[in-house]
């Protein structure tokens, strides 16, 4: 049996402690909670991308143990499912490689696991995590009623003349019930992709990266199979009830994947153009409006494909992993 490397375990433990501290800081500072929660994925990603699966698993177990000891086992489970496990799985997939000849490529190159497939996996994991969170907090019409009531009371305390009618409140409740899982899932996918991007930059700069750092405008796409899942989520969202909420969550996560792919495609299409900067600025500002965002989403759907990174084959005796 191969003996575990103490340095790998120590690296993983340090990454786990850092991840746990970031999550605890997010609980203590609600203003930046989303950013801090997403940042907690970076230590696990860095450990996995730079030091391998053993370091990533150690980081996950360490962070979960600290979360259980500091708060509760349920808190640790939520932290693991929502952040740690997606980060660990992403780093594992990013480290997979095989000879390019197996997929019809040159013999002297190796092919890394496609970034498009990694993004699809991440969308699915976040959808599962958001569904788990919804079950844990009892998300549903009653939860939304309490939320809307709290918002109305807070607004009324600031403005005594604020008194929305029942029809307006009912419409707001119906809209929030569907939109919250869409927004939560979509934003979390975007934040975790950002965490992967910065983790890859850090690992590459340190010289520990085995996988090449892809050019995101040309590499960040969604797998064509993800369109079927996205379509199924759209159809399920019209069913109402728990199935509709699950469908809305899937729409949010996979829609965010296609939206990022659309922006990446736009970056690639405008590369080298004199009018590139104003177009990109307008495109990013347009996400505040539905129609321009839909156009970017359609661009991501139209440009779906598998992107494979290739590097020179590993020489005999090298310790770079392949699968």
Give me the residue spans of the domains in the chain: 1-95, 109-140+178-316
Torsion of Cα atoms, 281 then 285 then 291 then 292, to 10°: 10
Mean pLDDT of 3-27: 87
Specify the pLDDT at position 118. 95
User: Lowest-pLDDT range, 10-14, 61-65, 212-216?
Assistant: 212-216
Report the share of the chain in percent with pLDDT over 70. Answer: 95
Report the interhelical angle of 115-137 vs 85-94 (nearest 10°).
170
* Cα separation, 287 vs 192, whole angstroms: 19
Query: Residue 312: pLDDT above 50?
Result: yes
Cβ atoms of 169 and 152 closer than 8 Å: yes
Query: Residue 74: pLDDT above 70?
Result: yes
Specify the pLDDT at position 3. 57
Query: Residue 1: pLDDT above 50?
Result: no
* Cα separation, 95 vs 199, whole angstroms: 13
Residue 92, H or E segment: helix 85-94
**Which residues face 110 on adjacent strands?**
99, 311
Specify the pLDDT at position 323. 42
Query: Residue 319: pLDDT above 80?
Result: no
Specify the pLDDT at position 22. 92
pLDDT mean across residues, the chain: 87
Cβ atoms of 99 and 107 closer than 8 Å: yes
* Cα separation, 269 vs 283, whole angstroms: 13
* Cα separation, 100 vs 102, whole angstroms: 5
Cβ atoms of 254 and 127 closer than 8 Å: yes
Mean pLDDT of 156-181: 80
Mean pLDDT of 24-31: 81
* Cα separation, 181 vs 236, whole angstroms: 14
DSSP secondary structure code for residue 289 in this structure: S
Query: Residue 322: pLDDT above 70?
Result: no
**Which residues face 98 on adjacent strands?**
111
Query: Residue 318: pLDDT above 60?
Result: no
Query: Residue 230: pLDDT above 80?
Result: yes
> What pLDDT digit, counting tens, does each position of 97-152 carry?
888 888 777 788 888 999 999 999 999 999 999 998 888 888 888 888 888 888 87
């Amino acid at each position: 049996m191969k003996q575990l490397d103490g340095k790998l375990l120590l690296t993983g433990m340090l990454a786990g402690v850092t991840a746990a501290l970031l999550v605890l800081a997010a609980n203590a500072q609600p203003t930046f909670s989303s950013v801090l929660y997403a940042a907690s994925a970076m230590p696990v990603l860095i450990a996995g991308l730079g030091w391998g699966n053993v370091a990533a698993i150690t980081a996950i177990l360490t962070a979960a143990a600290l979360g259980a000891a500091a708060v509760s086992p349920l808190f640790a489970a939520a932290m693991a499912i929502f952040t740690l496990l997606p980060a660990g799985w992403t780093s594992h997939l990013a480290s997979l490689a095989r000879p390019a000849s197996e997929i019809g490529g040159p013999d002297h190159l190796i092919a890394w696991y496609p970034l498009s497939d990694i993004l699809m996996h991440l969308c699915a994991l976040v959808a599962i995590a958001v569904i788990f969170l919804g079950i844990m907090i009892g998300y549903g019409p009653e939860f939304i009623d309490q939320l809307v009531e709290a918002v109305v009371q807070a607004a009324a305390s600031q403005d005594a003349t604020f008194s929305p009618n029942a029809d307006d409140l009912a419409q707001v409740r119906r809209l929030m019930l569907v939109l919250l899982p869409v927004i939560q899932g979509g934003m979390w996918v975007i934040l975790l992709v950002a965490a992967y991007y910065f983790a890859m930059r850090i690992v590459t700069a340190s010289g520990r990266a085995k996988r090449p750092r892809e050019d995101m405008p040309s590499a960040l796409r969604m797998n064509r199979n993800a369109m079927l899942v996205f379509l199924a989520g759209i159809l399920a969202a019209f069913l109402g009830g728990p199935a509709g909420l699950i469908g809305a969550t899937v729409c949010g996560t996979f829609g965010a994947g296609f939206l990022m792919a659309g922006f990446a495609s736009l970056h690639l299409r405008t590369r080298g153009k004199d009018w590139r900067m104003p177009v990109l600025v307008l495109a990013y500002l347009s996400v505040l409006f539905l129609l321009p965002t839909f156009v970017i989403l359609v661009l991501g759907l139209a440009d779906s494909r598998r992107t494979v990174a290739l590097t020179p084959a590993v020489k005999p005796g090298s310790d770079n992993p392949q699968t």
